[in-house]
Amino acid sequence: MADTKREIERKYEATPRTGLPDLTRAAGVASVTDEGVTELDAVYYDTPGLRLAADALTLRRRTGGEDAGWHLKFPVASGIRDEIRAPLSDTLPRSLAGLLRSRVRDGEVVPVVRLRSSRDVRHLRDGDGTLLAELSVDTVHAEGLTSGGQAAWTEIEVELADDTDPAILDAVEKRLRKAGIRPSDSPSKLSRALAETGVEPDAAPVTPGTPGTAAAAVLGYVREHVEAIVAHDPAVRRDLPDAVHQLRVSCRRLRSAFKTYGRVLDREVTDPVGEELKWLAGELGVARDQEVLDERLRARLTDLPRTLVLGPVKARLRRRDAAHGRSARRQALAALDSARYLALLDRLDALLADPPLRKDAALDARQVLARAVRKDHDRLAGRIHHALSLDPGDERDLALHEARKAAKRARYAAEAAEPTLGKPAKRLSRRVKDVQTLLGEHQDAVVARGALRELAIIAHGAGESAFTWGLLYGREEAAADAAERGLPEVWARASAPVLTASLTR
């Protein structure tokens, strides 16, 4: 079983002769206690090409100290990492291996560096004796297990205690700086060890295409979202907030780019990859769609006066949410654990390494991207006009849903073009997003009506009052109607001729 700890720390340069200042003069620190010296022995693992280090991930197996075991660290922000721990074992625990799957694939991690450290620990406490931070002076010896290189250094590390105000780190740093102790240039022991022992990573991937061409612009966008899929994978496995949504959006943006920029990348090659991205987004979509629906129904129920909530409505909704949520999560994880998913990641890498470029790929990016964005905007206009021409009802609901998908594609096309076309593309993207948001509200109301009807039928069959479910159904009808009535005005702002005309100015 793995557990997670948020690690907030700062590192400082030191030598064996560096003396610590009186840290009880730091604001908030009342006492500093000497906790003795601990001997630590850690072997760091990575792919042969150092893929984990390239993404600022750290995987180690460490003995010694109170937290001996396997540690996997993910960057959160500067000086902040999530450390996921698993018990000490001879082989990499499955709980950690899964979190590395999008990067390691069917390969393996190998030992790359060994660090042996003598850690001289001090605890910083407030007037009540509560631990504020742990300061350690680490004397480190590094050995490159693939290079044979050796290195040694001394550093100071200050780690914030759990549930403590990070301001204490500023107070401690102020005292250290006054004593002439400066922050370390290395973000981690591993990065310093790799550099100083001569362990060499594979060369960083280079996006093909001459700068300024359509190929460079489109492939740069594609690479960004391929990397986003890889990065969001472990977040989905950890069940972090919004992770499923972000991974799914990257799938959609890639599919959209393949379609929009078919004059740059050959669709005979990209369409099959797009189908696999559609499959993955669909498997993830069950979890995301369920999450959105649950939040919506709970919010609607909370807004009702208590006098209008008849029967065990909240309990029934909780049971439904729990059952559907568990099923959706199992489906999402099964997709990420599948051979089909790994094959998709490999195909995306292969596409970037040897892109199927067409003739327009060598043309000026501004010309090609502006034309593609206008084409998707025209496509959206056709969908909007068709939907608004229909009478209210199921057929119109379906047409508005198709218009929403076209709005996403037009928005993504403009977003991909922003680095090339600048403010005009950003302005168009923002206006189209307003259309997408309104159509999304309409579709959410349509989906919610279906769920509420199902809940009313179940409640009636169980002998419960269906009044509240019917009332919520009526409110969703009103929400959908409001979205439809608001669409012409929002679309008018997104379809102003100046928006698309300005793309090539």
pLDDT attached to residue 202: 84
With H, G, I as helix, E, B as strand and everything else as coil, classify residue 462: coil
Q: Which residue has the higher pLDDT, 269 or 207?
A: 269
pLDDT attached to residue 337: 95
State mean pLDDT over 299-315: 89
pLDDT attached to residue 63: 95
Collect all residues with Cβ–Cβ distance below 8 Å to 387 and sequence separation of at least 6. 396, 399, 400, 402, 403
Residues 405, 343 within the same domain: no
Quote the DSSP letter at residue 252: H
pLDDT attached to residue 291: 78
Distance CA 258, CA 356 (A): 11
pLDDT attached to residue 384: 96
- Residue carrying structure tokens 């923002």: 430
pLDDT attached to residue 369: 96
> Would 381 be classed as within a structural domain?
yes
Distance CA 40, CA 357 (A): 52
- Beta-carbon-side half-sphere exposure of residue 462 (alpha carbons within 13 Å): 13
Distance CA 36, CA 178 (A): 25
pLDDT band with cut points at 50, 70 and 90 for residue 505? low
* 431-453 pLDDT tens trace: 999 999 999 999 999 999 999 99
> Would 204 be classed as within a structural domain?
no
> Would 314 be classed as within a structural domain?
yes
Collect all residues with Cβ–Cβ distance below 8 Å to 430 and sequence separation of at least 6. none
pLDDT attached to residue 66: 86
Domain containing residue 350: CATH number: 1.40.20.10
Domain boundary residue, one of 362, 377, 395: 362
Residues 239, 188 within the same domain: no
The string of DSSP letters for 182-201 reads -B-SSSSHHHHHHHHHTPPP
* 165-206 pLDDT tens trace: 999 999 999 999 999 999 999 989 999 999 999 998 887 777
Domain boundary residue, one of 162, 197, 232: 197
Residues 338, 245 within the same domain: yes
> Would 332 be classed as within a structural domain?
yes
CB 88, CB 141: distance < 8 Å: no
Residue 1: pLDDT over 60? no
pLDDT attached to residue 318: 84
Which spans in 238-364 are helix H?
243-260, 267-303, 313-336, 339-353
Which spans in 390-466 are helix H?
394-421, 423-461
What percent of the chain has pLDDT above 70?
Answer: 99
Residues 266, 355 within the same domain: yes
Average per-residue pLDDT for the chain = 93
The string of DSSP letters for 70-92 reads EEEEEEEETTEEEEEEE---SS-
Residues 375, 411 within the same domain: yes
pLDDT attached to residue 2: 65
In total, how many domains does the chain have? Answer: 3
Closest CA to 248 of 213, 203, 278: 278
Distance CA 505, CA 490 (A): 25
Closest CA to 373 of 503, 475, 491, 239: 503
Quick one: which H or E segment has residue 52?
A: helix 51-54
pLDDT attached to residue 320: 78
Please report, for residues 18, 49, 80, 417, 458, the alpha-carbon distance to residue 376 in angstroms, rounded to integers and kept in the order given.
Answer: 63, 40, 41, 12, 43
State mean pLDDT over 390-401: 94
Closest CA to 344 of 273, 431, 420, 288: 273
State mean pLDDT over 121-134: 96
Residue 345: pLDDT over 80? yes
pLDDT attached to residue 292: 83
Distance CA 395, CA 300 (A): 26
